[in-house]
A and B are shown apart, each in its own frame.
Chain A
């Protein structure tokens, strides 16, 4: 199958306008007759539900959490990028576009990324109008800060809680439409399957997490805004319920999965401290504005940081990358931290940490200024570690944080299944092989407020569909299959807990498909995952029944999908015989140990098609054409 990304013709700067004009419109009267299912209530899901409802569509909104306001976007700390150039430092739509394409190591679509940069400004306008309390200068105008991979200051923020404030803005809009009667919410619902009728996405099977009831819902289109799959690693910065299940079910129903091996390892997280640990905590990248990263110059130096004089410290990012210093992109910062620790220069009890030091910033700006900027992050750090970053340098280490890979979508954000749209982190489209800081919030809201509401109209206007209800046999069949899978999980009654399997899967992937990879390790990982999956279906223990509130059963279903999905990640990593962005294959590196791309053979999106449970997935290629930027070796020196 030839993948058609449906990128409009014409100049890069005019493609989106042209697309808007070429998309067919649904008349206001007809919108009222159309039902759309939106899964997820994070930035992308909440914003798209609200906006579609404002346009007149009828929305059913589903989420796992007890209320839409708790979706994991709420945890985003640092900020949201926009090309406003309020800082007058030479920013422009073109520069934001270029930084994002380059940051992604030239593995994303030019047209998508340019559109994202264009829309970035509308997002800030809309969020301010909603009452999002962004940080302001003394004159009352909006303040900005810098983030990795950029030399301009274009990041808007609300202290260290930008995601929370943007999400509460979108949640408010969603609540308003519920009051208007345009949105019906279904909280505490898990998606068990996507239902296709005549090869078009027409609904979902869900399970009520309170009563265990299996339900079916029909609509004219389905939107997945289900986030990323970082939790395949067990330990990640994602919320505990974040999962791949809905996306993986869509994959099994024919939606191609793109670039699953592109997983972002964030450089500034609190290091792992024990085997009982349930998740990792991110410290916002914004800290790298003022914090200096260092390790002792000599391996094995176990002195406390205040005993190590300047001359015996290695500020390795500033030394290796003088132009960007501590603000290199995330993949570069993470890999360098790992390299230092591998050389025995890591600090802390485990030796798997580096310092992030605010001493110079406090001396320069005063403690009050630094506390005002990062107070809540310092507080969070102190709560977890019992240590005060104003007195001792923070210790940080990389952790899995975000997934650039996701379901393949065309320019209109539709997957390879007609009528199934995918937005936000759940799709693959805008960040290439590495996402820059403060770009995830931008993409989620761009998709939700300003892209999908138009493009889905184009699909609905030009597609003739019969009304389908949940009584259709396809729904009954899907519900039955979902129920029998639940019964199977409950009937195994083995000897290992779900979490135990999940931890082992996570450690296999972290060791073999993490910050640095090679073919031999990846092959080993593939075997290990298969063995673990087999054992899971023979030896997992899931207490309780399917007809009640059962958190073990919820987790079992998600881990069962992760055990299949993990293998797909490894297969994708094996197939990409180059290094780019987050995907670092040791066989492909420059003399200076930087990622070495192979643009001749791998300048493409890898999109995988499900081919049955016992078969390898089928590889499809979407070539990436760069007409407006020159492919170059990324350099942050």
Chain B
């Protein structure tokens, strides 16, 4: 299925999860015919939805916004893989040239106890906001800051912090984890802030508060399956979970 196709237009069978209310749900089959391989995956869904609309049927609800891989809004499972088969790619940046003529695609929403389904492929990811509210920031009011160059930060440190800060909060890590854990999401934020000198004063309080909130929001724990790292569209490394654990232990000790 992942083989790049040379054919310009392809035909696909889609099995899409439809849900409107807790009891009204199940897969429905749609045929996507004559799909240009230059299309993005979401543009292919647009084509299906235009057709459904004209037929007087309810189009498929799906989340999306920037369509350039940075806002973190889009995301579904395709044949059991978050954001589909391409590594380091959000759903909106996945193009149809990565599928072959005749493929069948099973399209489902993120599934996790913490993310309730709103409609079809749309889920509620606000529990991730709750975790950030617990401490995913540096407490500085506007007006208080010293000169930006007052604290030199080694380039390597800044780059490692940036690697972690690149998280787009899409929830693919949660969706692909067998425990529905948010440890990669939390680890990325903890790492970003704990690595930088500005983030150190609050580091201990932060890690405790965020981990507690993560538990409260019904996310599972990490048992090192590494599915999150494999599916993260921004390729956030699992070393951030190791750093989270270190910070957590430090916080418990002192």
Which positions in A face B, CB cutoff 8 Å?
A: 47, 50-51, 54, 65-70, 72, 74-75, 84, 86, 122, 124-131, 133-142, 158-159, 161, 164-165, 168, 171-173, 175-176, 178-179, 185, 187, 210, 237, 239-241, 273-274, 276-279, 281-282, 379-380, 383-384, 386, 449-450, 453, 495, 497, 499-500, 541, 543-544, 548-549, 551-552
Q: Which of B67, B134, B159 contacts A239 (CB 8 A)?
A: B67
As a 0/1 sequence over residues 135 to 176 of chain B, the CB contacts with chain A under 8 angstroms (1 = contact) are 111111111111111011111001101100110110000000
Instruction: Let me know if B65 and A72 touch, CB within 8 A.
Output: yes
A497 pairs with B53, CB closer than 8 A:
yes
Does residue B61 face the partner (Cβ distance < 8 Å to A)? yes
List the 6 closest A-B pairs by CB distance, nearest first.
A172-B137, A140-B152, A129-B145, A125-B145, A133-B162, A128-B148
Please, which residue of chain B has its CB at the minimum distance from the CB of A132?
B165
Contact A70 B65 (CB under 8 A): yes
Give the chain A neighbours of B139 by CB distance below 8 A.
Answer: 176
Within 166-193 of B, Cβ neighbours of A (below 8 Å) are at: 166, 168-169, 192-193
Query: Does the CB pair B146–A129 fall under 8 Å?
Result: yes
Q: Which residue of A lies closest to B37 (CB)?
A: A386
B59 x A241 contact (CB < 8 A): no
- Find out whether the CB atom of A70 lies under 8 angstroms from the CB atom of B148: no
- Asked if A278 meets B42 with Cβ closer than 8 Å, knowing A54-B141, A168-B165, the reply is yes
Q: Given the known inter-chain contacts A66-B126, A72-B66, A175-B132, please indicate yes or no for A543 contacting B57, CB distance below 8 A.
A: yes
Measured CB to CB, the closest approach of chain A to B38, in angstroms, equals 5
> Which of B89-97, B100-108, B222-230, B243-251 is the contact stretch?
B89-97
Among A125, A161, A543, which residue has its beta carbon within 8 angstroms of that of B53? A543
Can you identify 13 A-B contacts, CB atoms within 8 angstroms? A67-B128, A70-B72, A135-B158, A142-B149, A176-B137, A240-B65, A274-B36, A276-B47, A278-B43, A383-B95, A384-B93, A543-B53, A549-B119
Q: Say whether B126 contacts A187, CB under 8 Å.
A: yes
Most chain B CB within 10 A, of A66, A273, A552, is at A66
Residues of A close to B128: CB separation below 8 A: 67
B124 touching A66, Cβ below 8 Å: yes
**Cβ proximity bits B109-140 to A, threshold 8 Å, 1 near / 0 not:** 00000000011001011101100111111111
Q: What is the CA–CA distance of A577 and B140 in the complex, to the nearest angstrom?
A: 49
Is A453 in contact with B142, judged by CB distance below 8 angstroms? yes
Q: Is B39 an interface residue (CB 8 A)?
A: yes
B198 to A75, Cβ gap below 8 A? Answer: no
- Minimal Cβ-Cβ distance residue in B for A178: B133
Q: Footprint of A on B, CB under 8 Å?
A: 20, 36, 38-40, 42-43, 46-47, 50, 52-54, 56-59, 61, 63-73, 86, 88-89, 93-95, 97, 118-119, 122, 124-126, 128-129, 132-149, 151-155, 158-159, 161-162, 165-166, 168-169, 192-193, 196, 198-199
By beta carbon, the residue of chain A nearest B72 is A70
Q: How far is the CA of A128 from the CA of B97 in the complex (A)?
A: 41
Q: Assess whether A383 is in contact with B142, with CB atoms less than 8 Å apart.
A: no
Asked whether B46 lies within 8 Å of A276 as measured between CB atoms, the reply is: yes
From A65, A175, A176, A179, B65 is in contact (CB under 8 Å) with A65
Shortest distance in angstroms between B241's beta carbon and chain A's nearest beta carbon? 19
Say which residue of B54, B58, B152 sits within 8 Å of A544 (CB atoms): B58
Residues of the A chain whose Cβ atoms lie less than 8 Å from the Cβ of B165: 133, 158, 165, 168
Given contacts A84-B148, A175-B137, A543-B57, contact A158 B162 (CB under 8 A): yes
Which of B72, B122, B137 touches A549 (beta carbons < 8 Å)?
A: B122
- Contacts between chains A and B (CB distance < 8 A), count: 214
Q: Contact between A380 and B69 (Cβ–Cβ < 8 Å)?
A: yes
Chain B nearest CB, measured from A55 CB (Å): 9
Contacts of A135 in B (CB 8 A): 158
Instruction: Give A548 to B54 CA distance when docked, in angstroms.
Output: 19
Query: Given A66, A140, A176, A543, which contacts B63 in the complex, CB threshold below 8 Å?
Result: A66
A535 to chain B, nearest CB (A): 16
> Which chain B residues border A548 with CB–CB below 8 Å?
20, 119
A210-B50 Cα distance, complex, nearest whole Å: 21
Q: Is the CB of B43 within 8 A of A276?
A: yes
Q: Among B59, B136, B140, which residue has its beta carbon within 8 angstroms of that of A551?
A: B59
- Cα distance, A162 to B124, chains bound together (Å): 27
Are the C-beta atoms of A130 and B198 separated by less than 8 Å? Answer: yes
Q: Is the CB of A129 within 8 A of B140?
A: yes
Q: Which A residue sits closest to B161, measured CB to CB? A: A133
B97 to chain A, nearest CB (A): 6
Nearest-neighbour CB distance to chain B for A389, whole angstroms, equals 16
Interchain CA distance A74-B69 in the complex, whole Å: 10
With A66-B124, A67-B128 as contacts: A552 and B53 at CB distance below 8 Å: yes
A126 touches B142 (CB 8 A): yes
Tell me how far the C-beta of A24 lies from the nearest C-beta in chain B, rounded to whole angstroms.
Answer: 19
Q: What's the Cα separation between A68 and B73 when bound, in Å?
A: 11
Given contacts A133-B165, A164-B70, 12 further A-B contacts (CB under 8 A): A47-B142, A67-B126, A127-B148, A128-B148, A142-B148, A158-B165, A164-B168, A185-B129, A276-B36, A383-B86, A384-B93, A551-B61
Minimal beta-carbon separation of A630 from chain B (angstroms)? 33
Task: Check A175/B118 contact, CB under 8 A, given A543-B58, A551-B59.
Answer: no
CB distance from A134 to the nearest CB of B (A): 7
- How far is the CB of A76 from the nearest CB of chain B, in Å? 9
| Across-interface contacts of A449 in B (CB, < 8 A) | 142
A450 and B142 CA atoms in complex are apart in Å by 8
Q: State whether A175 touches B71 (Cβ < 8 A).
A: no
Tell me the smallest distance from the CB of B83 to a CB of chain A, in Å: 12
State whether A383 touches B137 (Cβ < 8 A): no
CB closest residue in chain A, given B20 = A548
A129 lies within 8 A of B149 (CB) = no
Which A residues are in CB contact (< 8 Å) with B56?
Answer: 541, 543
A506 to B135, CA, bound (A): 43
CB nearest to A143 among chain B residues = B155
Of all chain A residues, the one with the shortest Cβ separation from B56 is: A543
Tell me how far the C-beta of A166 lies from the nearest C-beta in chain B, rounded to whole angstroms.
11
Q: Check B40 against A278 for contact (C-beta < 8 Å).
A: yes
Are the C-beta atoms of A239 and B71 separated by less than 8 Å? yes
- A179 B134 Cβ-Cβ under 8 A: yes
Chain A residues, Cβ within 8 Å of B119: 548-549
B192 A133 Cβ-Cβ under 8 A = yes
Chain A residue, CB-CB nearest to B42:
A278
The answer to whether B153 touches A140 (Cβ under 8 A) is yes
Contacts of B193 in A (CB 8 A): 131
Q: Which residues of A contact B168 (CB under 8 A)?
A: 164
Query: B67 touching A240 by the CB < 8 A rule?
Result: yes
* Chain A min CB distance to B225 (Å): 26
Shortest distance from the beta carbon of B89 to any chain A beta carbon, whole Å:
6
| B61 x A549 contact (CB < 8 A) | yes
CB neighbours of A133 from chain B (8 A): 158-159, 161-162, 165, 192, 196
For the complex, give the distance between the alpha carbons of A499 and B51 in Å.
Answer: 12
B148 CB → nearest A CB, Å: 4
B71 touches A126 (CB 8 A): no
Give the CA-CA distance A133 to B159 in the complex, in Å: 8
A70–B73 Cα distance when bound, in Å, is 7
Question: Which of B53, B57, B71, B139 has the most A CB atoms < 10 Å from its CB?
Answer: B71
Within 8 Å by CB of A276, from B39, B58, B93, B132, lies B39
Whether the pair B136, A175 counts as a contact (CB closer than 8 A) is yes
Closest Cβ of chain B: how far from A160's Cβ, in Å?
9
Complex-state Cα separation, A138 to B132, whole angstroms? 31
With beta carbons under 8 angstroms apart, the residue of B125, B145, B199 that contacts A126 is: B145
On chain A, the residues within 8 Å of B47 by CB distance are 276
Closest B residue, CB atoms, query A135: B158
Contacts of B142 in A (CB 8 A): 47, 50-51, 54, 126, 173, 449-450, 453
Q: Is the CB of A383 within 8 A of B93?
A: yes
Shortest A440–chain B CB gap in Å is 15
Residues of B within 8 A of A551 (CB): 59, 61
Closest to B151 in A: A128
Distance of A179 Cα from B134 Cα, bound (Å): 7
User: Interface centre among A50, A185, A281, by most B CB within 10 Å?
Assistant: A281
CB neighbours (8 Å) of B50 from chain A are: 497, 499-500
Q: A72 touching B71 by the CB < 8 A rule? A: yes
